[in-house]
Structure 1
């Protein structure tokens, strides 16, 4: 009986620190983010914190105004970055400690252009029912990647920017085809002009 009790105490002592120090990326969620997305955010956020010491958080509200969600940043450990989404206000923002915000380009993440931004293009696409989860996950991962890049690091749990890379490749192919077609057209016109 004593061996079982000692074994149970040993297991409890070993697992308590894991529970105490588990990183929670989502500091506020009003039934906007799914459990699966929250878990993915926790993995990325934990790795980012372990490697850089920067806390990256999310606050997502369905009916809570953006201004209320932005106040959450003051309660968080520093240095921090907080990605905020308010469905009711139809707004997204990124706030954080002054130091942490200098490590990446916030305006690029929030850009409405698909080649640059990772949040607003998804929210405005209206394709699919789960645009909020996709937008937050993409934006969070983009911020994490940008912070890691600033410190010369690579995140193992990064989801990357596959959508942006695919769009850029398609854009290059499209413009390349247009240029080729124009050059071919001009060349044919010049040949005809010579033969006349």
Structure 2
């Protein structure tokens, strides 16, 4: 039964993959499920075209609102499912490539980098510095605004990183200010950790007295 349910999820996702690809596709935004503002999509395509023409690299975006997974799916099955789908996605990408993937309901975000670019693009730096902080921000912005900002920010960061490695300036670049949010986020998290440690030490010292 478990195998049947997992196979069923694969089939359903394949169907949604086909539909979303045809409904929302551009050359570089392969899917967005209506979660990326059209102005952001336009800017992504502009950056993507310049990166392709000047650097010979393809940068893609694949965003899904949901992968259609059951809420009670185990973490292992969820990871296996996502790996299989990303493996299928890779078959559609033209090398060398970088692909920013996201599944909102599953709180999944990833950066798939082809072997030729792995020494240039730092996956963790891009995600933690430019993408995740904007998605995780607790404010009044809509989901559309958060996803649009996070995807465009991450996409532009990838483009700038590769361009910098090649010593080429991109006219379509949105600048380096995008990492400010990530820096603020990390400072906030580090502050919480330090405060937590101080409270812990204070509690121990007080108990010893």
Give the 3-state SS of the residue equivalent to 2:111 in structure 1: strand
Runs of 4+ in 1 over 2 A off after TM superposition: 64-71, 163-169
- Whether contact under 8 Å (1:95, 1:101) holds in the other structure is no
Q: Which residue of 1 aligns with 2:103?
A: 86
> Which blocks of at least 5 consecutive residues in structure 2 are unaligned?
1-25, 69-81, 185-209
* 1:55 alignment partner in structure 2: 58
The reply to whether residue 104 of structure 1 matches residue 121 of structure 2 is yes
In the aligned structure 2, how far is the partner of 1:83 from the partner of 1:167? 17
Contact 2:133 2:182 in 1 (8 A): no
- How do 1:90-169 and structure 2 match up within 5 A? 90-111=107-128, 117-127=129-139, 128-129=141-142, 130-165=145-180
How far did residue 44 of structure 1 move?
0.4
Q: CA deviation at 1:27?
A: 1.1
Q: Which has the higher contact order (CA 8 A, sep 6+)?
A: 2
1:126 Cα deviation from its structure 2 partner = 2.4
DSSP-derived class of the 2:91 partner: helix
Judged with a 3 Å threshold, the aligned counterparts in structure 2 of structure 1 residues 60 and 153 are, in CA distance, closer, same or farther, namely same
Higher fraction of helix: 2
SS at match of 2:31: strand
Give the whole-Å Cα distance in 2 for the aligned partners of 1:47 and 1:121.
Answer: 26
Q: Distance in 1 between matches of 2:165 and 2:39?
A: 28
Q: Find the aligned partners of 1:88 and 1:82 in 2 and give their Cα distance.
A: 19
Q: Mark the structure with the bigger radius of gyration.
A: 1
Of 97-106 and 137-146, more deviation after overlay is shown by 97-106
Instruction: List gaps (5 residues or longer) in structure 1.
Output: 1-22, 112-116, 170-196
TM-score, with length taken from structure 1: 0.66
Q: CA deviation at 1:166?
A: 8.1
SS in 2 for 1:56: strand
